[in-house]
Each structure stands twice: as structure tokens, then as C-alpha cells.
Amino acid sequence: MVPLVLLLFITSTIPLSPAVDATSSRNLQDFQIVAPVEPFINGSYDLWETQSLIVDVRNNASTPIGGRQLQVSVCAGDHTAGNACPSQASGFPKTLFLPTLQPDEIYTAEFSGGIYTGNLQNQTYTVVYEFSSADIRPENDRIAYLFHRVTPLKDIVYLSNNADTTYNSGTEYALSATASTGQFTPGDQAELGWTLSQIDAPVGEQNDCVRIGSGEQLPDTGASPDDAPPYISTEVISSNDWINLSVNATGLQIGETYAIVWEARHNNVINSSNSGSLEWMASSSEENFSLEFEGLDDGVHCITTKIIIPILFIEDQSNAIQINGYSTSTAFDAAPITFPNTGRFSIEFWFNSPHDPNAWNDRSAPFEVIVSDDVDITILSVLPARGDETVVQIGFENYALYPYGDDSLEVKFRNDGDMVWNSTLSLEILDSLDSSGIQGYPVTCTRMLMPQAVGTCVFNLPIIGQYIVNASATGGPTEVDPENNYLETQISVNQTVSGAYVAVPAIDGMLFETGEAIQLVAGLAPNAPLPANYTWKIDYTEVIAQGRVANVTLPMGNHIVTLHVRHGLMDESDFDEVGIRHIRVLNRINFDALPIITEGEAVSVEEMEFELLGTAFPPTVVHAAASNIGKTPLRSLDYRLVPTDGDVLNVDYIDIWGNISQLIPSSVDPSSVQAMHIIDGPAGILTPLIEGESFESYSTNNSFHLRTLSGANISMMLIGDMAPVNVTPMNFRTQQLEGGQIELMWESEGPINDPYFGGWKVYKRSEFPFRWPYDSESDFENTVSQNWVTDLPGGATSWLDPNPLPNGICASYILAAVDHQGEVDYTHGNVTGWQELGNPDLQCGDSIAPGAEMLDVRAVLTYNSTSDVHTVTVTWTYPELPDQDEDGVPDGGNITWSLYRTQNIPQAVTHLNPIMTGMSGEAYSTGTFVEEQATGVDGLSIGQNYHYILVPSDSVGNTDGLVRDDNIASIHITDMFWDANPHLIPEELVPDKDHENDWVNSLLSEINDPNFQTAAIVAIAVIAINMVAVPVVINRNRKIRRRLKFLLEKGRGVSANDEEDELSEFFG
């Protein structure tokens, strides 16, 4: 039951409230301006600072109300007496509408725009907040007050401090506070201070105990004397279940606020329902209280009564500070603080300056700190220092397994108090069988623990067996909870293996470089016996280091590093415990091959050198792997690593950084470039990079990075997005040639020497003319792919169709550019006979030879006696050619004539060379050819017959070469010298027959006889025939004899000798 408090001091008067029906008034509209927020009442602000306009309003009605209009006015001067502004500053008044407010809801209203910088001058201003219309209580609908605009404004605004939340008594602590500062000048006075007060400071205390119910009454312990006023005395009276406590407080200071606090305990258990407090302000130096407690249970009831001062001023401290100009945040050192005793304290920071007009923003709000000197050391755990805790059952007891040797047991303990404490931890080990102490124990460990800090102590266990472990620590005389200073557990220490392994390097196959320091770290099982000896070897044999951690360097190659561990529980006959790790020590080389390769790196386990083999443009074949992903081969890049010792080289990887602009055309975006392995270069077979390989190309700096794995000989093809080379066949035309042949001719426009231009493809179709242009690649391929006839090199400007067009057959031709893969670029090409409207024209051949005949072809021989030269003059008359359409062009086209000379008249002049070509003339005009006597094989000779033959051919060169009678003129070259010079003819000479031999004379006389000449020729012919025929007959007879001999031997069995005799007789 709550105690009845009888106060012997009672106020003599009680204020009376007006008799107003509150409920009925609250039902009417009643809004109240509670208080201004900004500007602060009588606050000073910088002239150039934008100041907010904020005010708190409240709905005093009992129902939700909204829509009230609120207005603010600002004017120069002090107009608070009139509670209104006679004139407004620029931009005022401002209004806003309030939202709906619930009953008793306070709303903070802010006017937009505030008071703008520079709107007001340096002086005092009145601000008026008011509702636009009054309600039932107009007295709270308006508020007017002053604020000031000054410049320069020297204002200190408190921001924060560095105070903690918990302290110890009797210790000096440094304090500081942070503030923003206005436009102070050096030398302006200012100070920073703090006020320390104790919260609920006890100034008097009494304890009273009484028994309720049967039993002996407790002895009177008497009053506890106080050292200083105020003083407190108590008197307890009990009856049945009732206790009356009288409290007398003397030595009170009039006007001071005091509180009486009582705490009731029943059998040492606090009874919160019978505990409480009462606060009052002393009106005299003595006060009396009476506390009654009813319905109490039997037992011992104790009541502690205290007089406390809710806020007890302790001290003020301040010190001068130096402020230099404007700052948004500056930390200032305050006077140090020392708390006189434990308890709850309040601290308030404040700044002060005679130049600061705003005292309202100079102070912090009071905040509470706790001053405590409590120490509470708690043992948190006893655990294995290595590995997890494992519990096993031995007999009927549970034991935690602990490792043997060094650093085996770990104890954690914490300072749960508020004082820094140098705590000593003691570890005692007892035999689990008889609880006898183990030699060497207890051992201790000391740690300086900050409040709430955790300390750790690690102990050795050089013992094997089952034990009881006791860990204890003390917190000294101020220890608040000694019961948590002790922890006991049962442990078992067994012999185990070390579980040795190589912890670093952590995995097999780790890579290191030649000369690089390799750290070796031995790993053990968490419960391994310690200490242990560590030996490092290569391939189990060669020792390279000692110790758990070692740094070594190894030669390049593949190595097996072995860790050999021995510990104190091992016998000499025990084998080492071994851990294994495979590592690779690599040879790393750096290289470059400017300007293509700016930087490179290769890694292997052998010595090697880098060699750039070169670059090349792709062959003119289709690279399917590139085409399938829409890429164009750009350039091949070939390089290799050459072993400096031996022929075999195993490469881990090759990294290359280079200049991509050296490998691709400027028209290609580097970011589109990819790399592929070349499998068969001439065949255009490529394959993508394998897993782990990569290629990146960057447009920002025209660089690329290529990583390849394993291979020492690398052949890469760079592929990318490349537009076709802009080469176009211009002025594409045809020319008819003899025999129906067609020659295509054009001029190439564009970079025909570009390595990515592959040449031309020619398409031919005779059924119907090709069209041009085409809408797409598929449209082009579907139309012309079956009509391809040949490929031409890029430098070609003409092509002779090897298949003549027969009479009446015409054709259409397309010439299209191809890239270096042989892929057709349908956008760069042309068609024969193209015209802007309609289909292109077909191109026809001409294979018909003309059969025209000359008119009046004749040859005349003349002689020039002066030059002694014979001359043949051939003349002819051109025939009229038929022109049925009368367009001025002969029906078969213009013809030209060629002149041949021969000494025999052939059927055709196909195999003869003309002596004159390209002759033509108007109908019935005359043509002439003059030829003089000359020496040599082709010259005219006296005494010979010559035939001059004219042969026609058409404009394309068609000619049949036939010799027609009307196109021939023949002449015999006679020696006209004697006709022109008869006087030079000598007399006839008679041969001299007076030779000494008669037969010679006879021969001379008969040699001119025709009959003699004929007989002599016949005789010579007979002799010649015999010289040839006789050897032929003899040779034939020999072959017959050999054949007969073979047949006789085979068919008749006649001896070779007899047969030979018969044949000899047969042939004589």
C-alpha cells in the first residue's frame, strides 16, 4: 500500500480558478500563438544573413481545425507597445494557411523566403506574428517582439563538447567545447567556462529496522550523526502490520529545493510499493514528515531515509580564450575538471563575451555524467588457447581436451566496473584424483584493464593427464561483485601428433620468380604438442632452412618443398612428421619490340628470349571464324620465345602491351578488335582464344593487351569491324573484238593499293541483263552468285572474255569489288550498259567477216634510170558499201583494208603479214600503194612475179582472209635497165673451145643444149635414189631373216645351224 504522507507544513492559500465551462469553450475555434522560434526574441543577427521566420501555433479546441491564415509583419523600430507594424518592410507582410490540427497539436509554421539578405538596415526591428482574424481568445492570437540587425555581428554560438559519459572521482580530466564565431577582432575579450552540479546529492541519511509479527524486536542502532547540515533524524513506531516513520530535517537553507527519499526492504528485498520520494522548497530551516506503511507482512522491515538536493551546485570554472575572426567551427580548451566524489553530475558549458549580444546561444543544455569508482573483475572463460574446445567423457566425468606444451590454455577476464584496474589473474592446477597441487602452479598474469576492456592470459601446460583448473582474479577493496572472480573447469591433456603441413605457400603450384624471396610457414594442428623443431628441405633431402617461418630463394624449376617436424613427445626412433608443397620458380623476362610492342612479359621455368617474327596482311581467303561473327581479318602478329638452352620450352604465359594503331587501319575502332589463333594461315583457319587468354584494345590511347598461355610460338590474327575499302570501277564499258569476243574496260577509283582491297569479281549472264544497284548482300548473292566467271587482281583495268559471243547472243556483265578475304562488296561495283532508267543494255558480239571486193585493182612497174630503182605502183577504187537504213554508216559497219604481197596466190592470207593495214576510203575514191625495189628477203627482186592482195576487215577486226580475184593485182618484175640503156648492151660472146682436153671442149659446146641438160638431171636423180634405197632394202632383209629363224625354231624344231644354212641359201 502506498504510504500516507502527512505534511505538517501546508500552504495557507490555494489559488482559485475562474468559473468557466472549459469544455464548452474548447468546442469553439481557438488557435494560439505559442511562441516564436525564429527570429529569437531580442536576438541579434548579421545584416547579411538570411533569417528564417518560424513560429509555433497550437489548436486549443477540442475538435480538429484547419485553414487558419497566419501572417507575419516586419518593420523598423520598436512597435511592441502597439502590437502592430505601422509600415511594412519590403516584401511584407507574408501569409500562409495552416493545415488541419488535432486538439492540442502544436504545429511549427515557417514562412517561405524568410528575411532576405540585405532587405533590412543595421538597426532594431519589430516582428509581429498574428492570425488574420481573431477567435474567442484574441489575446493569444498575436505576438510582437524585437530583434536586431547588426554588422559586424560578434556572436559566439555553442555547438558541442568532448565530455564523456562516465568518469572516476579524484581524477583530473581535460575538457573542450566547440563553437562558431562571428566577426571578432584580435584582442576582443571572451571566456569559456563550465558549471558542475551534483544530481540528487545526498546530504543526510538514516536507516531504521523493525520486526512485524512474532519474534524479538531488533536492537535500536541509534541515529547516524551527520557531519554538516542539513541534519536528518527519524523515529519508527510499529503496531501489528503498521509502521509509522517520523522524519525531522533541520539546518535547511530557506529557498533551497530538497527531496526526501525512502526505500523499504522486507527481509532484505526492496519493496518498491513502499518506496518513494517527495520534493519541496524549504520555507524554514526545519521541516517534519510522517510516513505510514500499512498491511505489512511479518518479518523484518528496514527503511532507509535520505535527504537529497536534486541539483547541488559544486563549482564554476572558466578561462580566457582567443577568438580570431569568423569560423564555422572551432574547438576551444576549457578548464580541467575533477569530480569530488561518485554519483550523478550535471555539466553545462558556456561562452561569455562583452561583445556578444546573444546570450541565448552561448550555453549548452545541462547534460548528465556518471562518476563511479566501481571495479568488477569477471572471469569470462577458460578455453584451449589453440583449437576449439572438445569435451570428452572419462569415466563418469566430462573433461575438456587441451593441447600439450606451450601456449595451451587461455583465460579471458573483463573489467565490468568503471575504474581502470591493474588486475592479476592466478591459475592453479590440481590433480583430478586427489585435488593435490601440481608442481609449478599456481602461475599469475597481470593486465591493466580499462573499463569494459577484456584481458587475455595464455599459459603453458607441460603436463599430460586429467586436471582441475582454477582461474581467479580480484578487484581490490572496491570490487562490487566478488562472486564472478572465480572459474573452475576440468581438463585433459593428451599426447597427439603435430599434424604438420605447409601453411605458406598455401596451395600447390604457386608461382615464384627467380631470385624472389619465398616465405615458408609451417602449419600445425591446433592441438599439436609444443614446442617443435622445424626443418625445410627440397625433395626430402637437401636442407634449405630451419624454423617455423623461413625465407628462402630457389633456382628456377619445379620443386617439392618438404617440412619436417619433431617435438618433445617424440622418441628418437619416431619418424619425422612431414608436410609437402609443390611450387614453381619461374623465369620472368621483360621485352619490347617498338613500335608495335611497347612492353611485354613472359614467364617460364627455363631461360628464354623473345623474338618478334613480324606482321602481315591476311591472305586473300575467307576466314570463316571471323566472318561468322561479323569481323574482318586485319593483320597477323607472329612472335615466339626461344629457349637459350636446349630445344624444349614450357611457357606459362606471355603478356604483351602494344600500340594497336601499328596493326590496324585508322578507320577501325580499336574497341571492336578481337584476337584469334591462326591454325592454318593460307587456308584462313582461325580459332578463338582459350580459357585464361585475353585480348583488350582501347580507343582512348590506341593500346592493346594480349595474354596467351602455354605456347612458345604464337601466331595471332587481329579481327575487327572494318568498312569495305572504297574502290569503285568507273566508266565501266565493253569493246567488241573480232570473232565475237568482248573486252571489259574500266578505271578504278579509290585506293587500289590498299592491302584490304582484294580485287574484282566478274559475273556474266546472257539470258537477261543484270540490274543495278542491289538492296542488300542477300539480294545480290541470290541474283548473281550462279553467274560468277572469274576473279581479277585489284590492279586490273580490263578483261577479255575468253568465250566469244555467237551471232545473235548478247550478255550482261557485273564487275564487283572484293575484300582481302574474297568477300564481295555489293555496294562497290558496276554493270555494263547501265542507264538511269530501265534495265541495263545487253552487250553483243560481232563475228561476221565482210566480203567486199575492190574495184579496178591494178599494179604498174616503172623504172627510174637516175636512181636505178624499179617501182611498183598498186592502185584500186573503193567500192560502195550497202546502207539500207541510210544513216550514213554501212550496214555492217565501216570496214578497213589490209594489203598483202606474195609470190604465189594462196586461198587465204591467214598466215601472212600485211604490208599495209587500216586503209579506207569513200566509195569510188582511189587508193594507192607504192613499193620500190629493195634488197633483202622481203625486197622486190628483178625477174620475180608478185601478187598484191587486198583483204577487208570490219571495225572490230573480223576478217575471213579469203583471196578474191577482184582483189588481186599481179606483176612480173623485169629488168628495165637495158631498155633504158640500150647503148650499154655488150656484143654476144662466143665461148673459146680451144681447150687442151677434147672432152672439155665437147662439154662446153653441149652444156647449153637443152637435151644435154635434161639427161644430166635424170642421171643425177638416179644416183641419188640408189644411195638412199639400197641401205633401206638391206636393213629390211635382216629383220625378215631374224623373224623367220624364230618361227622355224619354235614350230619345227629345226636346229639353228641348219636353218641358218637354208636361209643363207635362200638369200644367196
Torsional sign, CA 432, 433, 439, 441: positive
Please report which confidence band the pLDDT of residue 495 belongs to, taking 50, 70 and 90 as the band edges: confident
Q: Please tell me whether residues 177 and 207 are part of one structural domain.
A: no
Nearest to 760 by CA among 812, 682, 830, 681: 830
- For residue 683, pLDDT over 80 is answered with yes
* Cα distance between residue 1012 and residue 1016, in whole Å: 6
Mean pLDDT of 749-776: 89
Q: What is the pLDDT of residue 33?
A: 94
**Cross-strand pairs, 635:** 718
Tell me, yes or no, whether 14 lies in a domain: no
pLDDT above 80: residue 999: no
Q: How many CB atoms lie within 10 A of CB 1012?
A: 13
Q: Give the pLDDT confidence score for residue 215 in this predicted structure.
A: 76
Give residue 802's Cα distance to chain centre: 58
- More reliable by pLDDT, 90 or 665: 665
Predicted confidence (pLDDT) per residue in 102-133, tens digit:
999 999 999 998 876 566 677 899 999 999 88
At residue 1031, φ and ψ (nearest 5 deg) are -60, -30
pLDDT at 990 over 80: no
Residues 975 and 860 occupy one common structural domain: yes
In this structure, what CATH number is given to the domain that contains residue 285?
2.60.40
295 and 337 assigned to the same domain: no
Residue 21 dihedral angles phi and psi, to the nearest 5°: -80, 100
CB atoms within 10 A of CB 711: 16
* Amino acid sitting at position 848: I
Same domain, 609 and 716: yes
Say what the pLDDT of residue 1067 is.
Answer: 44
Residue 531 has pLDDT above 50, yes or no: yes
* Radius of gyration, alpha carbons of the chain: 66
What CATH code is carried by the domain that includes residue 556?
2.60.40.10
Cell triple for 477: 577493496
Is 1030 found in the same domain as 973?
Answer: no
- Residue 201 included in any domain: yes
Whether residue 687 is contained in a domain is answered as: yes
Summarize pLDDT for 781-817 with one digit per residue, the tens: 888 989 999 999 989 999 999 999 888 889 999 999 9
Render pLDDT for 406-420 as a digit per residue (tens, 0 to 9). Answer: 999 999 999 998 888
What are the φ and ψ backbone dihedral angles of 962, each rounded to 5 degrees?
-70, 145
The H or E element containing residue 664 is none
Q: Which residues contact 1067 (CB under 8 A, 6 or more apart)?
A: 1037, 1041
**Residue 1051: pLDDT over 80:** no
**Residue 837 covered by a domain:** yes
Query: Residue 5 forms beta bridges with which residues?
Result: 291
Over pLDDT 90: what percentage of the chain? 53
Q: Which of 286-290, 602-606, 1018-1022 has the highest mean pLDDT?
A: 286-290
Q: How far apart are CA 181 and CA 356, in angstroms?
A: 10
| Whole-number pLDDT of residue 686 | 95
Q: How high is the pLDDT of residue 158?
A: 96
- At residue 992, the pLDDT reads 59
pLDDT band, residue 222 (cuts 50/70/90):
low
pLDDT surpasses 50 at 14: no
- Is the link from the previous residue into 643 a cis peptide, with omega within 30 of 0? no
The owner of cell 537529497 is 308
611 shares its domain with 705? yes
Residue 711 sits in the same domain as residue 636: yes
Q: Over the stretch 132-146, which tens digit does the pLDDT of each residue have?
A: 888 888 899 999 999
- 428 and 478 within one domain: yes
- Judgement on whether residues 704 and 598 belong to the same structural domain of the protein: yes
Handedness of CA 682, 687, 689, 690 (dihedral sign): negative
Average pLDDT over residues 444-458: 93
Domain boundary, last residue among 693, 720, 747: 720
Would 538 be classed as within a structural domain? yes
- Helix 1056-1066 to helix 1010-1051 angle (10° resolution) is 160
Same domain, 622 and 709: yes
Q: Look at the pTM and tell me if it is higher than 0.85.
A: no
Residue 936: pLDDT band with limits 50, 70, 90: low
Reported as type and span, the H/E element at residue 1028 is helix 1010-1051
Q: Do residue 43 and residue 121 come from a single domain?
A: yes
| Strands in 681-801 per DSSP E | 685-688, 694-698, 703-709, 713-720, 728-736, 742-749, 757-765, 788-792, 798-800
When pLDDT is cut at 50, 70 and 90, the band that residue 1047 belongs to is: low
What are the E-state strand segments in 321-342? 327-338
Residue 672 within any structural domain of the chain: yes
Rounded Cα–Cα distance for residues 108 and 58 (Å): 9
**Is 898 found in the same domain as 1037?**
no
Q: Which one of 562, 586, 610 terminates a domain? A: 586
Residue 764: inside a domain? yes
Phi, psi dihedrals of residue 1059, rounded to the nearest 5°: -60, -40
Does residue 967 sit in helix, strand or coil? helix
Q: Tell me the average pLDDT of the chain.
A: 87
Give the confidence band of 229 by pLDDT, cuts at 50, 70, 90: confident
Q: Give the range among 504-508, 638-642, 879-883 with minimum mean pLDDT.
A: 879-883
pLDDT for residue 1059: 47
**Cβ neighbours, 10 Å, residue 980:** 13
Cβ neighbourhood burial of 665 (10 Å; 0-12, 13-18, 19+): middle
For 525, other C-beta atoms within 10 Å of its C-beta total 16
Nearest Cα to Cα of residue 692 among 720, 655, 659, 717? 655
Number of separate domains in the chain: 9
Interval 54-70 mean pLDDT: 92
Q: Average pLDDT of 9-19?
A: 34
pLDDT at 8 over 80: no
pLDDT number for residue 713 = 92
pLDDT digits (tens, 9 = 90+) for 81-105: 988 998 887 788 999 999 999 999 9
Q: Which amino acid is at 281?
A: M
Residue 627 to residues 478, 623, 632, Cα–Cα distance (Å): 87, 6, 6
Query: Rounded mean pLDDT of 605-609?
Result: 88
Identify which has the larger pLDDT, 980 or 729: 729
All 3 cell numbers of residue 749? 577509283
The residue range of the domain holding 686 is: 594-720
Q: What's the pLDDT tens digit per position in 433-449?
A: 999 999 999 999 999 99
Give the Cα separation of 971 and 858 in Å (integer): 9
Q: Report the relative pairing of strands 397-402 and 486-493 from DSSP bridges.
A: parallel
Band (993; pLDDT cuts 50, 70, 90)? low
Q: Is the pLDDT score of 621 beyond 60?
A: yes
Cell of 1064: 643363207
* Tens digits of residue pLDDT in 159-192: 999 999 999 999 999 999 999 998 888 888 899 9
**How many CB atoms neighbour CB 526 within 10 A?**
12
pLDDT value of residue 1005: 67
Q: Which residues neighbour 626 within 8 Å (Cβ) at sequence distance 6 or greater?
A: 632, 633, 676, 686, 717, 719, 821
User: CA distances (Å), 838 to each of 324, 508, 553, 771, in order?
Assistant: 93, 77, 84, 9
pLDDT value at position 19?
Answer: 34
pLDDT of residue 16: 33
Question: Shortest CA distance to 22 belongs to which of 105, 104, 133?
Answer: 104
Check residue 1028 and give its pLDDT.
79
Beta strand ranges found along 557-702 (DSSP E):
557-567, 577-593, 597-604, 608-616, 632-643, 651-659, 674-680, 685-688, 694-698
| Whether the predicted pLDDT of 1014 surpasses 90 | no
Q: CB neighbours of 12 closer than 8 A, spacing ≥ 6?
A: none
Q: Residue 952, exposed/middle/buried by CB under 10 A (0-12, 13-18, 19+)? A: buried
Domain assignment of residue 421, yes or no: yes
Band of the pLDDT at 3, cuts 50, 70, 90?
very low
Residue 223 confidence (pLDDT) above 80? no
Residue 564 pairs in a beta bridge with 535, 578
**Has residue 1041 got a pLDDT over 80?**
no
Domain boundary among 568, 586, 604: 586
Beta-bridge mates of residue 127: 74, 145
